[in-house]
Amino acid sequence: MEIFQYDFMIRAVLAGILIAVMCPLIGSFLIVRRLSLVADTLAHVSLAGVAAGMLMGVYPILTAMGFAFIGSLFIEQLRKAYKTFGELSIAIVLSAGLAIAVVLIGLGKGFNLDVFSYLFGSIVAVSKQDLWFVFGVATATLIFVGVFYKKLFAMSFDEEHAQLSGVSVYLLNLLFMMMTALIVSVSIRIVGVLLVSSLIVIPVAASMQLAKSFRALILTSVGIALIGVLGGLTSSFYLNLAPGGTIVLVMLLFLIGAISLRKTVLKEGY
């Protein structure tokens, strides 16, 4: 295929496959816990990290990770302070991250175009260094979920019961948020800050219409994300479209199809 004759497309496809596995994997736990907006919040915080990295002459993804880490810690601390109104923590950190990003971008007029590529993602910009970072985070994600799956499952459906069962909920929450921060910060290179939360949420939302168990939910959402990323990257290459937006549109088609299929099945009584 012509698409594999270019090194930048090979890197983009490899990075896309890794992202398509880890985003829905962590997104399944986020959505069950009703924290789907956390990904969008950390993406905006990561943008501030990208801008800071460019100002200091540091690898932007590295500073994006640092900022996202700090943002995840703030979210968790604010969730403890506002137990009854947990969504306030997300709104506060999102506003703070966006404000810092705007100020930093204003301070460095010379790199506005580079920041733009992080807003919407860029296939051409995926370097070998980016690919290694994505690979490292994907490996860490698989290990994290594999080791803590039962505890994450228990905590996602009932935090109080999990704590009574001996699960260190506070520590596990911190680790979970930090892992989410890592995933979001490395994913913005492919799909962009404005669309990265879609890769975490939409495949899981589509899978919820089809899956009958939590394990099935994870596997189905990963499958949908893989098809969405590969289909989106291929379509964007041959049709000269924006890759991030095309990936999200392909996954939205799956979501619409899953909802329609669910309605048909319920209507016919299967």
- Residue at 202 is within a domain: no
Name which of 241, 154, 229, 218 is nearest 187 in CA terms.
229
* pLDDT value, residue 84: 65
Residues 45-100 have pLDDT tens digits of: 998 888 888 888 888 888 988 999 898 888 888 877 776 666 788 888 888 988 99
pLDDT digits (tens, 9 = 90+) for 10-50: 888 898 899 999 999 999 998 888 888 888 888 889 988 88
Handedness of CA 176, 179, 181, 184 (dihedral sign): negative
State both tokens at 162: 């999990």
Report which secondary-structure segment, H or E, holds 214.
helix 214-239
Does the pLDDT value for residue 270 go beyond 60? no
CATH number at residue 193: 1.10.3470.10
The reply to whether 242 falls in a domain is no
Of 11, 130, 112, residue with least CA distance to 60? 130
**Does some domain include residue 216?**
no
> In total, how many domains does the chain have?
1
Residues spanned by the domain of 74: 2-197
> Whole-prediction pTM value?
0.85
Retrieve residue 45's tokens: 């915080």
pLDDT in tens, 111-146: 555 777 788 777 667 888 888 988 999 999 999 999
* Half-sphere exposure at residue 105, Cβ-oriented, CA atoms within 13 angstroms: 19
